[in-house]
Chains A and B, each alone.
Chain A
Amino acid sequence: MEDTAPTIVGPLATNGPASPRDIPPDAIIDLDEVRRMLSHFHYRDFQEAQELILSALQEVNEHFGWVSLEAADVVAEHFGTTATRVYGLLTFYADFRTEPRGKHFMLLCHGMACYVMGSQRLVQNLEDVWGIADGGTTADGELTVQVVNGCLGVCDRAPICKLDADYFGDLTVESLNEAIRAAIAGSGSWRDAHHPVAAGSNHD
């Protein structure tokens, strides 16, 4: 893949986020695959190209679990824009990750139903027991958590989380920890939950 790696110029190359840990081999983004994904994003004019940048990034993010600097650069190239612009999007929109996900991925709902039913304790527990805050990954790379500010839409079972492909409702600190332990002991991963946002252009 060496020969396809793009050269990044400008501040991104030096000021990009220093990854706190080495990127695990299975999280490295295959840029040829990114190009294949992008080939479905046809645009007929300038406006459509601009409109599709976010959709394309969303697809990359969903597929690989994050968007690397190199992938961002490939996206920029495809749409004829700058890497800086693309990176500005990645840091503005909460759904994008600029670091790989751990093996398991949790969306912990902190919407209002979940809050009034005690999700604050669950967020605290993640820090106390698992040592991770919103967006963080455990040191062993097993679990990444994203605290959701919106609502997962299953408010009758609040507080709730989605861990890989499964939902766990009526959570307590104990049942949350148990669910995490079971996921780590099991064979699943965040890829089981992979649902493409079905972004894409209107014309593919």
Chain B
Amino acid sequence: MTDRLASKDAFDRFQRAAADRWQRMWDGDQLVVSVQVDSSSVAKGALRVLAACREATAGTNAIVREVSGNGAMWMEPAVEVKRPGEPPIVYGWIAAEDVPALLAGQLRDRAVGVRGTEAFAGIPPLHEHSFFKHQLRIVMEDFGVIEPGSIEDAIARGAYSSLAKVLFDMTPEEAIAEVTAANLRGRGGAGFPAGIKWESGRKARNQPKFVVVNSHEGEPNVYKDRRIHEGDPHKILEGMLISSVTCGAERAYNYIGGEYPLAIKRFRKAVADAERLGLIGENILGSGKSVEVRVRTGGGAYICGEGSALMYSVMGVRGQPRTKPPRSVEEGLWRRPTILNNTETLANVPAIINKGGEWFSQIGTSNSAGTKMMTVQGPLKRVGLVETRMGITMRTLIDEVWGGMRDGHVFKGVQTGGVSAGPITGGQLGYAVDFDSMTEIGGMLGSGGFVVFDQHVCPVDFARYLTAFNRVESCSKCVPCHRGNPALVEILDRIRLGGGAVEDLSLMERTSKHIIDLSLCGLGQVAPMPLLGMMKSYTQDFLDHIENHVCAAGSCPISATRVLAAAAD
């Protein structure tokens, strides 16, 4: 048990020792087996694989590690094996029964790549695989590399050195200036510049102040923030601490969706370990600065991702948004200045402090600096989590990174922006994926979750699904959203059942306008966007339902009516 690190020197010594140990592990003459365990691989038996690896190596000097997945969900469960004198090699599709053969050096046909720069025994480096080739990893740098449960691993790889830099070598103003220079924009959907928010937070005069991390992730189309908790929780924690120290907050919260037990567990472990080392709490590393960290969990209400609702939820009441102003940086949690950021936003901060805002701003495009974590859903060959430069085209993502459509599935469109924007179609795949480019065609980067859909999905039914989501998740506080969204669903149902009229299209447009213009918060203000987008991109499908009573995909009840009618003839 290490004692609290009471000074920068003590931290530096600890870091050197951790780095030495790290190096010795990889240079040593023992087997190092790293099983990728996260919430998606657990569903496919990764825990059994881990147990099998432990069992197979019991009594030997092999090291079995529980790392997190590297985003390649399509090859889970995955295991990395490093033999003495060889580079680490990542194998995919490993079941518990395969472990003895794997450890005996067989199963070379399931090797996906070498984690390193050079090929080995005919196995190419991982980064030459088309899933990884287009990626640039800042947040995900150490996913699958460090053990998320080991603060020593994280520190060996550089964790908390940016915090130390902010505490001892920089003024808060200088640190904020780096974040501003980086042009780091919020990754939670709205893209607000983090540097500006931090500056207002620092200037706010009320005390105490709070930092809050938004790890709620209640959208149905994205699974990135929970994976940062599972893969490298210390990046989030370090970002929180830097934000707190620079803005002058002595308490920081992480609000995590209650549906993600593994994320919560690994983050809590990270907090406990950091507390033990004196990286959290009173007088951090002897700097005189103190930050308390609290973890709070959500209860499955999507609206609690909205800033003010989230804060109400933390305060133990119903999460219902309030009118603004005042903005949260003036009056947020416990009516005190509160600096709220998305998980991914904060996880970028340590690298920005370490390498400089200038470095970060050069990555990506001029208006959207840096990288973006993106998730994909739908019938693609390689579904998973990636991190690429901003500005990559949708076509590159779909065709190369995600491997194109699965056999038998014909591309029809990509839903963007989750439940808050519209789809883009086959002719629009050349658009760059960044904060602003897709806006003109009704798309949105949002939190980076894209849903590719095929000929089996009916745009009318999809529009209903998306609108119904917003209907169910509406907090019911204001009338336009609470009553308007059910009205849209009702009209859509009429069309789906074959009772629609052409006027229904303009009726939906008018109703949508009311909801958008009059709703209180961000949920209602964008709730009709998916419907409007679907109507614009797939007008003919809507007309086919209304005029010809045809649902080409065969998913609307109208099709059943036709089948019945045909049977009666």
Q: B73 to A154, Cβ gap below 8 A?
A: yes
Q: Which residues in A have their C-beta under 8 angstroms from that of B456?
A: 116, 118
Given the known inter-chain contacts A53-B316, A116-B451, A116-B453, please indicate yes or no for A160 contacting B43, CB distance below 8 A.
yes
Instruction: Name the residue of chain B whose CB is nearest to the CB of A121.
Output: B555
Q: A120 to B465, Cβ gap below 8 A?
A: yes
* Stretch of B173-181, B283-291, B373-381 that contacts chain A: B373-381
Separation of A110 and B268 alpha carbons in the complex (Å): 28
Instruction: Name the residue of chain A whose CB is nearest to the CB of B302.
Output: A149
Q: Which residues in B have their C-beta under 8 angstroms from that of A169?
A: 43-44
Give which listed residue, A89, A110, A113, contacts B451 with CB less than 8 A: A113
- Cβ of A88 within 8 Å of any chain B Cβ, yes or no, is yes
Give which listed residue, B39, B217, B555, contacts A120 with CB less than 8 A: B555
- Write the B254-266 contact mask toward A (1 if CB under 8 angstroms, else 0): 0001111100110
Q: B559: shortest Cβ distance to chain A, in Å?
A: 13
Give which listed residue, B297, B334, B449, contacts A199 with CB less than 8 A: B297
Instruction: Name the residue of chain A whose CB is nearest to the CB of B380.
Output: A156
Separation of A50 and B313 alpha carbons in the complex (Å): 10
Q: How large is the interface on B (under 10, 10 to 19, 20 to 34, 35 or more residues)?
A: 35 or more
Separation of A156 and B92 alpha carbons in the complex (Å): 14
Q: Which residues in B have their C-beta under 8 angstroms from that of A53?
A: 316
Q: Which residues in B have their C-beta under 8 angstroms from that of A118?
A: 456
- Cβ of B6 within 8 Å of any chain A Cβ, yes or no, is no
Given the known inter-chain contacts A58-B258, A150-B302, A202-B295, please indicate yes or no for A116 contacting B315, CB distance below 8 A.
no
Give which listed residue, B227, B317, B383, B452, contacts A156 with CB less than 8 A: B383
Q: A197 to B377, Cβ gap below 8 A?
A: no
- Write the B450-470 contact mask toward A (1 if CB under 8 angstroms, else 0): 011110110001100100010
- Cβ of A198 within 8 Å of any chain B Cβ, yes or no, is yes
Q: A117 to B379, Cβ gap below 8 A?
A: yes
Q: Which residues in B have their C-beta under 8 angstroms from that of A85?
A: 317
- Cβ of B220 within 8 Å of any chain A Cβ, yes or no, is yes
Q: B454 to A55, Cβ gap below 8 A?
A: no
Q: Which residues in B have their C-beta under 8 angstroms from that of A154?
A: 39-40, 43-44, 73
Q: Which residues in B have their C-beta under 8 angstroms from that of A145?
A: none
Separation of A94 and B268 alpha carbons in the complex (Å): 23
Separation of A155 and B317 alpha carbons in the complex (Å): 32
- Cβ of A192 within 8 Å of any chain B Cβ, yes or no, is no
Separation of A151 and B302 alpha carbons in the complex (Å): 11
- Cβ of A65 within 8 Å of any chain B Cβ, yes or no, is no
> Which residues in chain A, 138-161, are within 8 Å of chain B measured between CB atoms?
148-158, 160
Q: B109: shortest Cβ distance to chain A, in Å?
A: 21
Give which listed residue, A58, A117, A158, A198, contacts B265 with CB less than 8 A: A198
Q: B465 to A50, Cβ gap below 8 A?
A: no
Q: A198 to B226, Cβ gap below 8 A?
A: no
Q: B220 to A50, Cβ gap below 8 A?
A: no
Q: Which residues in A have their C-beta under 8 angstroms from that of B39?
A: 153-154
Separation of A154 and B377 alpha carbons in the complex (Å): 10
Q: B451 to A93, Cβ gap below 8 A?
A: no
Q: Which residues in A have their C-beta under 8 angstroms from that of B319?
A: 92-93
Separation of A156 and B379 alpha carbons in the complex (Å): 8
Q: B43 to A116, Cβ gap below 8 A?
A: no
Q: Which residues in A have their C-beta under 8 angstroms from that of B74?
A: 156
Q: Which residues in B have their C-beta under 8 angstroms from that of A21?
A: none
Q: Which residues in A have their C-beta under 8 angstroms from that of B375?
A: 155
- Cβ of A14 within 8 Å of any chain B Cβ, yes or no, is no
What 10 pairs between A and B have smallest CB-CB spacing? Answer: A93-B299, A113-B377, A156-B383, A95-B300, A94-B300, A167-B43, A111-B220, A50-B316, A153-B223, A53-B316
A-B contact pairs, 14 of them (CB 8 A): A51-B314, A55-B296, A93-B300, A93-B319, A94-B300, A112-B415, A113-B377, A149-B300, A151-B219, A153-B40, A155-B376, A157-B43, A167-B44, A202-B292
Q: Which A residues are within 8 Å of any B CB, using their own CB?
A: 47, 50-55, 57-58, 85, 88-89, 92-96, 110-113, 115-118, 120, 148-158, 160, 162, 167, 169, 195-199, 202
Known pairs A54-B299, A110-B220, A155-B383 / 13 extra A-B pairs, C-beta < 8 Å: A52-B316, A92-B299, A112-B418, A112-B451, A113-B451, A115-B220, A117-B379, A118-B456, A120-B555, A156-B74, A157-B43, A197-B261, A198-B264
